Amino acid sequence: MSSTTAAPPAWQQAVFHALKEGGISQIAYVPDAGHAYAIRAAIADPEIKDTVLTTEEEGVALVAGAWLGGDRAALLMQSSGVGNCVNMFSLLRSCNFPFLTLVTMRGEYAEFNPWQGPMGKQTQAALELMGITVLRASHPDEVGEIVSAGLDAAFLAGEQVAVLLSQSLIGRKKWERN
């Protein structure tokens, strides 16, 4: 590893900025490279409680519980985790909780891992089937605005919202060999 660390892409910084400006005080996540900057920034921010999850569906319950406790929370996950959450999404619909998740996509642009394909191709449909509004960011300059719009739809209009962050934002992933 090099001794110098490159600055995170502006779109990743825009994600955290939008979450912070939108009053998010809790972030739940399963570690993911696409969310790495937001996760590190949340850990470093004393005004945000960060919770690492063992599985994504725990995050659905955490976000709902945060709302009941008077906080705004967001769930950060990868598209492969959406399939883990489908049953828990019924909690959101049944109780009409506001909900925001940011989903880094896999299984699309230049995917090398065939295991990521099936869920990546069905992520939007699975979310919509469960009544979740889907917004999508594919260009770096639109990320901050789309995340902010998702925050408003969730916490002002009371919707359940997923913002899909295109795999093309993250770039090509490659197998690493030791």
For each of the chain's 178 residues, which pLDDT tens digit applies?
444 578 889 999 999 999 999 999 999 999 988 999 999 999 999 999 999 999 999 999 999 999 999 999 999 999 889 999 999 999 998 999 999 999 998 766 665 665 665 666 778 999 999 999 999 999 999 999 999 999 999 999 999 999 999 988 887 666 566 5
pLDDT of residue 1: 45
Q: Per the domain annotation, does 29 fall within a domain? A: yes
The CATH number of residue 79's host domain is 3.40.50.970
Q: Per the domain annotation, does 94 fall within a domain? A: yes
Residue type, position 113, single letter: N
Q: Per the domain annotation, does 2 fall within a domain? A: no
Hey, which bits of 20-87 come out as E strands? Answer: 24-29, 49-52, 72-78
**22 is in which domain, residue-wise?**
10-115+123-152
Q: Per the domain annotation, does 169 fall within a domain? A: no
d(Cα 19, Cα 22) in Å, to the nearest integer?
Answer: 5
Q: Per the domain annotation, does 174 fall within a domain? A: no
Q: Per the domain annotation, does 64 fall within a domain? A: yes
In 30-116, alpha helices (H): 36-44, 56-68, 79-95
DSSP 3-state of 165: strand
Number of domains in the chain: 1
Q: Per the domain annotation, does 106 fall within a domain? A: yes
Q: Per the domain annotation, does 171 fall within a domain? A: no
